[in-house]
Amino acid sequence: MSDRSKIKMSHLSLAAFVYLRQSSAGQVVHNRESTRRQYALVERACDLGWPRDQVTVLDEDLGVSGSGVVERSGFEQLIAEVALGRVGIVLALEVSRVARNNSEWYRLLDLCSITDTLIADSDGLYHPGDFNDRLLLGLKGTMSEAELHILRARLDGGIRNKAARGELRRGLPVGLIWGDDDGEVLLHADEAVTGIIRTVFERFAEMGSVRQVWLWLRDQGLSFPLQSNRWPEIQWIQPTYTAIHHVLTNPTYAGAYAYGKTRQERYLDDSGRLRKRVRKLPRSEWQVLLVDHHPGFIDWPTYEANQDRIAANTRPKRHEPGGAVREGAALLQGLARCGRCGRRLHVNYQGRKSSPGYHCPGSTLVNGRGVYCLRVGGRQIDRAVATALLTALAPAGLEASIEAASRLETDRDAALAQWHLAVERARYETERAERRYRAVEPENRLVARNLERGWNDQLRKLAEAEAEMNRRQQRTPRALSLDERRKLEALGTDLEQIWGASTTTDRDRKELLRTLLEEVIVAIDRDASKAQLTLRWRGGALTDLEIDLKRRRTAPVRTDEDTIELIGRLATHYSDAVIAGILNRQGRRTARGLRFTANRLGNVRRYWNIPRFEPSAEPPDGEVVTVARAAEILGVAPSTLHRWLNDGFIAGDQITPGAPWRIRITDELRSRFVEQAPEDWLPMLEETKALGVSRQTVLQRIKRGELNAVHVRRGRRKGLRIKIPQTQPALFEDLSSHETDLQPVKTHENETS
């Protein structure tokens, strides 16, 4: 097998590849002699005749398994180089270093036989193209794969045998530690750690939801312990939903020892590569489950009840009731079932007040017709079920109120207890930091400064913890007085008042309902307008209820006739949004007393078949525009046009009070607005003196058309200019004689003169 005659000049002209591999990082660190032997193969390649510069070492796969599941970049590079015909010889310490599975090993052998590549190990030199050498190499590959199987089976057998006795030491969740004896598991010695774990179970028993427990811990500002192999001590962090869910679903907290809860599976990914994944197994397939193996925080029946409750909180499957309690007003959410097909009823909300309702899309699920199997409002049904519940609870009302009073007086606030432990923990850390600081030599400032900084940090954390604890102590409810206890006991006889109180949330009502009811079967008789309810109580008792679904008919709600008539007149000139603004300014309302909007007015218009506004196609000189648009066209302020409209100088129409003015732009109207005053046209003040009348009289004569007036848009003396009448020459002569006595009067855009 070490015949060097197999080495040809064609081999020596190519590269020599030395492949190195160790199965794990621990072997790379501790089994260094094996690594040295593999690197020594470089010298052997040189002894076989390859120059040192033609020897390539592939050590990328150190610490990578060769079982075929993990991707190896070094092996893939080796395969690529061999397939390209660039390799003369492949050197490895043994076959198990190259591959631990026959699929990769035989792939290398096939390529080497095709490209005339040699293989060398510690035993000899082989040519895969030779039958005898290939037979031996194949046998070595099979033995390498069998060796891996035997080693794995031997180790797994020992692990399973030890786990069957409950003595295999695996990682324990936070709050539990291993004892000195075989298989001994103890509670953590830190009261803060065990206290927060117990608080999680207590709050779940009260709230029934993992998410609600997590939100309560965040709301109370409590920290959660984190245990890791990287840190020797417990770390306190903000609680996460995953951590709370792990506590409530881990059987170790219930005193059980479990092993083999998962299984590794091999599969082919989309690219055809072999992968490995971990699949969680149901409890019936766990390899080891020892109940009452060690003391826990809860017992095993409580753990099973918690798992059932968590499973019921998730989205239920078809034909199954359940689901976590939500904040909606539908009382039978998750409990109602269809009396026709047996499916779980879905909840819907509709209307401005979000009235609850129930529906069963049975036909949709069966044949896709989109027809509801059942659809009914929920208020009457919820009211009937609540009445039946309060009737059933009436005998136990007094005992429940007394128990509530006793619990309020005796129970300690779990959050306050945890803050007491947090203060105690912070005080211990502060004292330890102080001892460290005082133990160091004062001259060693390099160390003393860091210890002093750590001591100050612990003092700050202690002060914050004490301040928070004092704040929470002040918020702690005081003990009930005798009068308050009597009032509380009196409420036990009036459960309906408690049920309908504003402090009782919908979630509280649903939680109370689920403690007594398992499901409510709803059947609807549309012809008789009745609902048949079957209440199945916990324990198997049934209660039948019949509800009348008839509704009182009210008078039809209609919009006022004058409003409808006005909308018809306005719709020929304005859009829905403008009409809605006009009606709102007039104080008009819809049939239900709401303000008009474009959508609501459009609904009224379509109901009464009133056509919508369509802009006209008139030429620009004759178009009808608003005051703002007319002011933009004529080059004046909108206030000037409003004043001319009120005085009657220009024509405009307003369909109804509050509606916008509409002005028709014509050549005659444009001629009334000029840049410069015409000759012999006087301002208002001079005109009043020339005519010997008041300003109001002049305005009235302009309005009647007896005087012509224009508006000057530019210059220092903007404003009205009035044409001098030709019928009063003496008056003009008198005006000329007094021309020197007249002073120029300044006019402004916002003045009439």
Q: Supply the pLDDT for residue 25.
A: 81
State the Cα–Cα distance between residues 146 and 148, nearest whole angstrom.
5
Q: Is the pLDDT of residue 730 over 60?
A: no
Residue 483 in contact with residue 298, Cβ under 8 Å?
Answer: no
Q: Supply the pLDDT for residue 119.
A: 92
Q: Is the pLDDT of residue 412 over 70?
A: no
Three-state SS at 187: strand
Instruction: Please state at what angle helix 102-115 crosses helix 131-164, rounded to 10 degrees.
Output: 170
Segment 347-366 shows an average pLDDT of 74
Q: Is the pLDDT of residue 737 over 50?
A: no
Classify domain 176-256+291-313 by CATH number: 3.90.1750.20
Query: What is the residue extent of each domain of the chain?
Result: 4-160, 176-256+291-313, 336-395+505-548, 403-491, 561-669, 674-741
Q: Is 607 exposed, middle or buried (0-12, 13-18, 19+ CB in 10 A)?
A: exposed
Contacting residues for 687 by C-beta, under 8 A, at least 6 apart: 698, 722, 724
pLDDT tens figures, 100-136: 888 888 889 999 999 999 999 888 899 998 888 889 8
State the Cα–Cα distance between residues 367 and 513, nearest whole angstrom.
34
- The helix (run of H) or strand (run of E) holding residue 519 is strand 517-525
Residue among 5, 13, 23, 67 flagged as catalytic: 23
State the Cα–Cα distance between residues 621 and 553, nearest whole angstrom.
57
In this prediction the pTM is 0.50
Q: Supply the pLDDT for residue 727.
A: 53
Structure tokens at 602: 């459009």
> Tell me, what amino acid is at 649?
F
pLDDT tens figures, 195-220: 889 889 988 887 788 888 888 888 88
Residue 256 in contact with residue 300, Cβ under 8 Å?
Answer: yes
Closest CA to 532 of 338, 280, 353: 338
Instruction: Please state at what angle helix 191-207 crosses helix 241-249, rounded to 10 degrees.
Output: 90
Q: Is the pLDDT of residue 551 over 60?
A: yes
Strands 262-268 and 542-548: unpaired
Share the mean pLDDT of the chain.
79
Instruction: Please state at what angle helix 561-570 crosses helix 598-607, rounded to 10 degrees.
Output: 100
How many angstroms separate the Cα of 259 from the Cα of each of 213, 294, 560, 564? 28, 15, 78, 79
Share of the chain above pLDDT 90, in %: 12
Q: Supply the pLDDT for residue 556.
A: 65
CATH number among 3.40.640.10, 3.40.50.2000, 3.30.160.100, 3.40.50.1390, domain 4-160: 3.40.50.1390
Q: Supply the pLDDT for residue 50.
A: 92
Q: Is the pLDDT of residue 246 over 90?
A: yes
How many angstroms separate the Cα of 14 from the Cα of each of 41, 49, 74, 90, 334? 17, 11, 19, 11, 74
Closest CA to 113 of 94, 131, 96, 91: 131
pLDDT tens figures, 655-692: 777 677 777 777 777 777 777 777 777 777 777 777 77
Share of the chain above pLDDT 70, in %: 82
CA atoms within 13 A on the CB side of 257: 23
pLDDT tens figures, 153-192: 888 888 888 888 888 888 889 889 888 888 888 888 888 8
- Identify any residues that bridge with 355 across adjacent strands, giving them in sequence order: 350
* Helix count and strand count (H, E) for the chain: 29, 26
| 23 included as an active-site residue | yes
Q: Supply the pLDDT for residue 399.
A: 54
Residue 392 in contact with residue 385, Cβ under 8 Å?
Answer: no
Segment 377-381 shows an average pLDDT of 84
How many angstroms separate the Cα of 663 from the Cα of each of 585, 622, 641, 674? 21, 10, 10, 18
Residue 125 in contact with residue 131, Cβ under 8 Å?
Answer: no
Task: Between 476 and 231, name the one with better pLDDT.
Answer: 231
pLDDT tens figures, 274-304: 778 888 888 888 899 999 899 999 999 999 9
* Alpha helices (H) in 394-534, listed in sequence order: 397-410, 414-439, 445-475, 482-491, 495-499, 506-516
Contacting residues for 385 by C-beta, under 8 A, at least 6 apart: 331, 332, 513, 517, 520, 533, 535, 545
